[in-house]
């Protein structure tokens, strides 16, 4: 089925292609999750405290979206290069579920609370903490997927 595909072939036949995809993946989440973390830290009343959460979100949201697109595209390319390996990996599906949750959460609840004028501090801190936990879980999922290959 997906065992032989054009993207997978490209990554597997060129020596550096897989490594490049991985580097794009890492750079992507450094910017994508890093920009979300800036908002999260602010919601915890840490970091860029001289600006409102809403403004920080405004500054970072485009970076977040574009960077996460790079993460997802490079991730798809990596997956397509070894579909048989990933599909039997016990951790990989978990990573995907947590990623889906993190993405959904980020663009719904998280976004809503980040844009609130005067959110209850407890709510902000809770929402930010969940966000950070979800994304850290995705990173752990990525590493553990690799260790079970």
Residues in binding contact with other proteins, number by CB under 8 A? 35
Q: Are 105 and 129 in contact (CB under 8 A)?
A: no
For 32-61, the three-class secondary structure string (H helix, E strand, C coil) is HHHHHHHHHHHHCCCCCCCCCHHHHHHHHH
The window from 81-89, 110-118, 119-127, 129-137 that contacts other proteins (CB under 8 A) reads 129-137
When asked if residue 48 is in the footprint of other proteins (CB under 8 A), the reply is yes
Q: CA-CA distance, 104 to 138, in Å (whole number)? A: 13
Query: Rule CB under 8 A: which of 9-28 touch other proteins?
Result: 19, 22-23, 26-27
Q: In the bound complex, what is the minimum distance in angstroms from residue 40's beta carbon to other proteins?
A: 9
When asked if residue 94 is in the footprint of other proteins (CB under 8 A), the reply is no
Which residues have CB under 8 Å from 20's CB, separation 6+?
none
When asked if residue 34 is in the footprint of other proteins (CB under 8 A), the reply is yes
When asked if residue 139 is in the footprint of other proteins (CB under 8 A), the reply is yes
Out of 2, 55, 100, 115, the only residue in the binding site for other proteins (CB under 8 A) is 55
When asked if residue 90 is in the footprint of other proteins (CB under 8 A), the reply is no
- DSSP 8-class letter at 149: -
The window from 1-9, 36-44, 75-83, 120-128 that contacts other proteins (CB under 8 A) reads 36-44
Nearest by Cα to 65 from 111, 113, 123: 111
From residue 135, alpha-carbon distances to 2, 25, 63, 128 in Å are 28, 14, 16, 11
Out of 8, 11, 33, 43, the only residue in the binding site for other proteins (CB under 8 A) is 33
Instruction: For residue 109, give both structure tokens.
Output: 């609840």
List residues near other proteins by CB under 8 A. 19, 22-23, 26-27, 29-31, 33-38, 41, 46-51, 55, 59-60, 63, 132, 135-136, 139-140, 142-144, 146-147
């Amino acid at each position: 089925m997906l065992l032989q595909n054009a993207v997978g072939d490209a990554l597997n036949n060129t020596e550096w292609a897989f490594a490049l995809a991985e580097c794009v993946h890492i750079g992507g989440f450094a910017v994508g999750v890093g920009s979300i973390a800036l908002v999260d830290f602010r919601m915890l009343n840490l970091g860029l405290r001289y600006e409102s959460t809403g403004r920080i979100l405004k500054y970072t949201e485009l970076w977040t979206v574009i960077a996460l697109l790079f993460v997802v595209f490079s991730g798809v390319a990596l997956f397509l290069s070894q579909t048989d390996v990933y599909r039997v990996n016990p951790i990989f599906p978990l990573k995907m579920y947590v990623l889906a949750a993190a993405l959904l959460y980020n663009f719904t609840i998280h976004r809503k609370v980040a844009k609130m004028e005067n959110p209850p501090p407890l709510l902000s801190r809770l929402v930010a903490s969940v966000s950070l936990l979800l994304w850290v879980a995705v990173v752990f999922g990525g590493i553990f997927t690799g260790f079970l290959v």
